[in-house]
Each structure stands twice: as structure tokens, then as C-alpha cells.
Amino acid sequence: MIELSRALDEIAARLAPLPARRMRLGEAAGLRLAAPVVADTDSPPWDRAMMDGFAVRSPDVSADGAAELEVVADLAAGDASRLQIRPGSCARIMTGAPIPPGSDAVVPIECAVDGSAAARAGGRVRLLDPRFRPGQHVARCGDAFRAGADVLPAGARLGPAAVGLAAEAGATHVVVAPRPRVAILSTGSELVPVEALPGHGQTRNSNGPMLAAAVAGLGAEPVVLGAVADRPEPLRAMVAQGLAADMLLLSGGVSAGDYDLVPGVLAACGVERVFHKVRLKPGKPVWFGVRTRGDGGRTLVFGLPGNPASSLVCFELFARPALAALLGHPPERRHLPRRRARLAAAAKGAEDRPVFAPCRLEGAEGDLRAWPLPWSGSSDLVGLAVADALLALPAGAKRVEAGTEVEVRLLTDGFGRHP
Ligand code: AMP
Ligand code: MG
């Protein structure tokens, strides 16, 4: 049995982003860039009207913001008139149209007076814009970025705004750390599918859907292999399938029981064991190893305990940072975000092991209170399902009193922006 910190170091020492891949921008949402996005054009590519109104020459507007002008053109977004605006004239223009040569500012349509707001080409408009300044309501060519500029650096995450910016810069394809494929295999002869009402001795395979949700929530691709009985041959065959993925998550079969066949089968399949058993509650039986595949890639293998709460806590502590690394997230973004909180009620710790128990959080950043949730232990998902965080209680105290400052790990989907 090893310490938690040592287990995390052992995992971290074996992590690297997946080899970068070029893919269509539309398929890369949520992934991290492995190469910068370079703009193929200036943006805006021309001087653009930012309001509906009249494109004017600033010297035509008097110091008090008044002007009376002849309207010589009528420009909608998409129009590309090259008509020169001469002194005393202006163009009616809508947001998103290029401002015509000669003009340098837009006076909003709301500033048309004496009923002249509807004036079109051939008519006259009277304007009064007391706050007028030259250049107003025009986005200049290249204001946002220039052709050839790195608009997004390597390492940036393709959130919605970044996808939009890449599209604006003309990136039909991007180079990213691709979505890891994560095989999920539940083991146990007692397991029945979710659709079945469990008979005597049977247990629903809740870990399968749970781990698939956890994997998908982090932007990786779950490959659900289903459940396999505690018999060496079928287990070996399913493990062999799972080893084609970037990560294999097994649940069950890693404790000390007569039918806990997972460690032996993994060894027989050529998976190098890195550790088995961590001083931790829940999750003590957890197993971790690595296998080098024929294609030179590596499959990270986690044998998670079968008890659902243990399984999920081990996923969050061990598999999450590994997945994050494959996805190209930097070390400080890989783990559940940590916060300090004050215990709002006494909590149950353990003398011999650190405990991770579900809790609810109340209050604002810097003044968080943690309410331990009722929790009967490693098989109990009821509290975890509504928890905001895991209460991290160090080994050494059976009971931790209300008012004690404790560490919590926020349970978040994805890799949020956190310090
Ligand atoms: P094991 O780790 O195989 O000894 O299993 C420990 C406990 O977790 C047993 O009560 C199992 O029935 C239960 N368990 C194992 N796998 C699953 C699963 N996929 N879904 C729900 N419970 C499970
Ligand atoms: Mg079992």
C-alpha cells in the first residue's frame, strides 16, 4: 500500500499529451491547441460600420454635432460600394457594411432629426449628434487582428469564443491534442444491465454509465465495453479489447477476494503494474499500470474498486488528472480545484487513512462552509450524487469538529477556469 501523494506522482511521471492531430474546427470544440491558429486575413478585413445610421465625413459635422447632408448611397451589410463620399454628402449605411471611401464615421440613425431618419439615396438628412467624435462607430481594418498574426497560442482551449475566433481567422482545421478514447469495462458475475430489476444476489452495473458520464464530461470519448463475469477467459478477451484504447478503466475485481481476477489478468495481458492499493478511504484497492501498444502508444490502465462511491472517488483523484494530461491540460489544471472551507458540522474521518467524503458548500469564495452529507461509505452514491465537493480529511482524526478549517475538492465537470 502506498501513500496518495506517491500514487499521484507515479501517475504524473507517466503522462504526456496524445500526439497532436489536425482536425476540422467543428470537431475540436473543447480540445486544446497543439499549434497556434494563424489568421489568413485582417479582421475586420475593411473599415466596418458598427451602427445603423449615416456614414459621414467628420469635417462636415459642426462642433455641436449638427450636419445637413445629401444622401448619395444606400448601403446594407454585404454591399461593397466604392462610391466616393464628397464634402456635403453621406451614405445611409447599416451595421456590418464597409464604410464608403471619403467617410470616416457613422452617425446613428437615432440622431436624424426633423423626420429625416428615413432618408435614402437622393434625399437629404439632418443630423444632430451632440457627442459626435471623428471615427466613431467604425471598426478599422485590422483592429481585431492582422493577417499572419497568432490569434490563439498553442495550449489555448477551444471554448466557444476561441472556436469563433478561429473561424473568423479562417481556420477550417486546427492542430489539437485529440480526444482520448477511454474503454470502460465493468467486472463482476453479479452484474446485470440497468434495464433489469436485480434478482437476489444481482447488482445493477451502475459504474458503467457513471464512468462513461465522467469521461464524457471531461471531453474524452467513452467506449463502453459493458460488463464481464469473474472468469479468466472472458475477462482476458475483454481486457485485450480495452487495451486498444488510450485508457482502460476497469471497475471491480481488484480487492483480495477469491474472484478478484483483474490484477492477474492485466499482468497476463502485458500491463506493467505501477501500484496496487493506496492509503485512502474510499478507494483503497485501486490499481494502476501501463501497457505499451504495438503502435508505440501507451494505454493507461486503472483498476477502480467495484463499490460505486470508491470507483468515482478514484476516478476523480487518479484518472481525471491522467485524462487531463492526455488532453494537453497543464499540470495545475488537471486536478479537482481545491478550496479551504470551514466545517459547518462535525465530520467523520479515519485514524489510518485520508478520507474523501461528499459535502455541500455554502457561502462565497473565501468564506465557504462545508456541510458533510449523510454517507454510509464506499457503496453509497446517494450523498455523492448531490455533493458540491469532496471533503478531504487527513488521516489521524476519527471525528473532525464543526468550525475546523478543512480542504475541499470541487466536483466539476470539465476543466473550469480556476486558479
Ligand atoms: P469488487 O470490487 O468487485 O469486490 O466489488 C465491490 C462491490 O461493488 C460489490 O458489492 C460489487 O457488487 C459492487 N460492484 C462491482 N462492480 C459494480 C458495478 N459495475 N456497478 C455497481 N456495483 C458494482
Ligand atoms: Mg467483484
H or E element that contains 264: helix 262-268
Question: Considering every ligand atom, which ligand is closest to the CA of 227?
Answer: 1
Q: How many whole angstroms from 187 Cα to the centroid of ligand 2?
A: 6
Q: Quote the pLDDT of residue 117.
A: 97
* pLDDT > 90? residue 319: yes
Instruction: Give the three-class secondary structure for 311.
Output: helix
pLDDT digits (tens, 9 = 90+) for 401-411: 999 999 999 99
Residue 206 Cβ inside 6 Å of ligand 1? The answer reads: yes
Closest ligand (CA of 191): 1
289 lines ligand 1 (CB under 6 A): no
Return the pLDDT at 416: 58
Tell which residue, 73, 89, 100, 87, has the closest CA to residue 127. Answer: 89
Provide the CATH topology of domain 4-19+178-333: Molybdenum Cofactor Biosythetic Enzyme; Chain A (3.40.980)
**Which of 309, 337, 340, 299 has the alpha carbon at shortest distance from 321?**
337
* φ, ψ at 379 (rounded to 5°): -100, -5
Distance CA 287, CA 224 (A): 20
Say which ligand is closest to the CA of 282.
Answer: 1
Closest C-alpha residue for ligand 1 atom 12: 203
Q: Which of 200, 202, 203 to mutate to test the pocket of ligand 1 (most atoms within 8 A of CB)?
A: 203
The whole-model pTM stands at 0.90
Class of domain 338-410: mainly beta
Read off the pLDDT band of 260 (50, 70, 90).
very high
Decide if pLDDT at 413 tops 80.
Answer: no
> 342-401: per-residue pLDDT in tens?
999 999 999 999 999 999 999 998 999 999 999 999 999 999 999 999 999 999 989 999
Domain residue spans of the chain: 4-19+178-333, 21-36+153-177, 48-139, 338-410
Regarding the beta carbon of 305 and ligand 1, being less than 6 Å apart is answered yes
**Mind listing the pLDDT tens digit for each residue in 27-66?**
999 999 999 999 999 999 999 999 999 999 999 999 999 9
- Residue 306, pLDDT above cutoff 60: yes
Q: Tell me the CA–centroid distance for residue 304 and ligand 1, in Å.
A: 10
- Average pLDDT across the chain, whole number: 96
Residue 68 has pLDDT above 60, yes or no: yes
DSSP assigned state of 249: E
Calculate the alpha carbon distances from 103 to 10, 16, 61, 137, 139 in Å. Answer: 65, 55, 12, 12, 13
The span from the CA of 416 to the CA of 413, in Å, is 8
Which residue's alpha carbon is at the smallest distance from atom 5 of ligand 1? Answer: 306
| Closest to 208 in 3D by CA, of 233, 228, 234, 180 | 228
User: Would you state the pLDDT for residue 205?
Assistant: 98
Of all protein residues, whose CA lies closest to atom 17 belonging to ligand 1? 306
Nearest one of 321, 307, 318, 331 to 380, comparing CA atoms: 307
pLDDT digits (tens, 9 = 90+) for 105-134: 999 999 999 999 999 999 999 999 999 999
Phi and psi of 286, rounded to 5°? -55, 145
Q: Which three cell numbers stand for residue 255?
A: 480487492
What confidence tier does 225 reach under pLDDT thresholds 50, 70, 90?
very high
Q: What single letter denotes the amino acid at residue 51?
A: M
DSSP symbol at 353: S
Distance 348 CA to ligand 2 centre (A): 27
Query: What is residue 419's predicted lDDT score, i.e. its pLDDT?
Result: 34
Mean per-residue pLDDT, 285-302: 96
CA 186 to ligand 1: nearest atom: 19
CATH code for the part of the protein at 48-139 = 2.170.190.11
CA of 252 to the centre of ligand 2 (A): 5
Return the residue whose CA atom lies nearest to atom 10 of ligand 1: 307
418 pLDDT exceeds 50? Answer: no
- Residue 26, judged by CB atoms within 10 A of its CB (0-12, 13-18, 19+), counts as exposed
Q: Is 186 in the pocket of ligand 1 (CB under 6 A)?
A: yes
- The fraction of the chain above a pLDDT of 90, given in percent, is 95
Does the pLDDT value for residue 417 go beyond 70? Answer: no
The pLDDT value given to residue 414: 72
Q: Is 251 in the pocket of ligand 1 (CB under 6 A)?
A: yes
